[in-house]
């Protein structure tokens, strides 16, 4: 639909619009993903002290509290009440090199691709009894590791797509408008990722977003950051990391 003069273009968001939203718990091994999953879903999936305790993803539905829903139910007294739920997936821990297949990385990355958003869990609590795969507690470093692995996987897919599109133009063939848009969007996204930025932080027009949505990019998914720390450290207001972490 064409927009009227002076009317702002409707902003198109990354993702796949649907009624049921899914979110995945992502992070390094032994940071508390399965424990968080158990807390959210009131379940008891294994949460042991060794890497890759979780291999096959577990899924639970968590009710989403909404005062508006409660008000409507009270006002109209429907025969059936269907509350909004969030499907939460407990995804196995990623490690450095996951994009190259380390630690069953490709399988775990495909599980992340299947969800709409990410709960990124990092560990701040100390404890020698619960080993850390990197040998020390540093949430800032851990954030960077996971972010880099997701970006590498996106780069791999986008570079392959750009190579495919470029091959279509061999022999001096000029690109049409659609090809120009797609090649431009691919190059822009690749440059963004190579600079260490997530795709979701860049400015995109609606046509670029529609095209890039076909790749279901990991770095385009919205992220909620969860810091697993002790109640004492939280009350004392201790920093979650050793240094500030730039998201954009």
For the record, the structure tokens of 16 come out as 């796949």
96-131: string of b/e by CB count within 10 Å (b at 16+)?
A: bebbeeebebeebbebbbebbebbbbbbbeeeeeee
Query: Which of these ranges, 53-57, 83-87, 203-207, has the smallest mean pLDDT?
Result: 53-57
Does the global pTM surpass 0.85? Answer: no
Distance separating alpha carbons of residues 207 and 106, to the nearest angstrom: 29
Task: Count the Cβ atoms, other than its own, within 10 Å of residue 227.
Answer: 19
What does the pLDDT look like over 175-233, one tens digit per residue? Answer: 899 999 999 999 999 999 999 999 999 999 999 999 999 999 999 999 999 999 888 88
Note the residue count of the chain: 248
Cα–Cα distances (Å) from 219 to 14, 62, 169, 199, 228, in that order, read 10, 24, 28, 6, 22
Q: Which residue has the higher pLDDT, 205 or 62?
A: 205
Q: For 122-170, how does the pLDDT look when each residue is reduced to its tens digit (9 = 90+)? A: 999 887 778 788 888 899 999 999 999 999 999 999 999 999 999 988 8
pLDDT of residue 51: 45
Average pLDDT, the chain: 84
Separation CA 165–CA 145 (nearest Å): 30
Q: Does the pLDDT value for residue 65 go beyond 60?
A: yes
């Amino acid at each position: 639909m064409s927009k009227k003069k002076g009317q702002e273009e409707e902003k198109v968001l990354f993702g796949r619009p649907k009624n049921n939203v899914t979110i995945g718990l992502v992070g390094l091994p032994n940071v508390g993903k399965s424990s968080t999953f158990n807390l959210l879903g009131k379940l008891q999936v294994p949460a042991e002290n060794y890497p890759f305790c979780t291999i096959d993803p577990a899924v639970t539905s968590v009710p989403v509290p909404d005062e508006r829903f409660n008000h409507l139910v009270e006002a109209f007294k429907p025969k059936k009440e269907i509350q909004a739920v969030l499907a939460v997936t407990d995804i196995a821990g990623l490690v450095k090199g996951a994009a190259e297949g380390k630690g069953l990385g490709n399988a775990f990355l495909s599980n992340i691709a299947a969800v709409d958003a990410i709960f990124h869990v990092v560990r701040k609590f100390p404890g020698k009894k619960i080993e850390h795969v990197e040998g020390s507690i540093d949430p800032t470093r851990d954030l960077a590791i996971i972010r880099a692995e997701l970006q590498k996987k996106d780069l791999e897919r986008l570079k392959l797509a750009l190579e495919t599109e470029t091959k279509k133009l061999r022999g001096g063939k000029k690109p049409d408008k659609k090809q120009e848009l797609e090649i431009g969007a691919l190059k822009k996204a690749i440059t963004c990722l190579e600079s260490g930025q997530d795709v979701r932080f860049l400015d995109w027009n609606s046509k670029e977003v529609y095209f890039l949505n076909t790749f279901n990019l990991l770095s385009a998914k919205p992220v909620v950051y969860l810091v697993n720390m002790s109640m004492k450290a939280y009350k004392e207001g201790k920093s979650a990391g050793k240094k500030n972490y730039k998201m954009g």
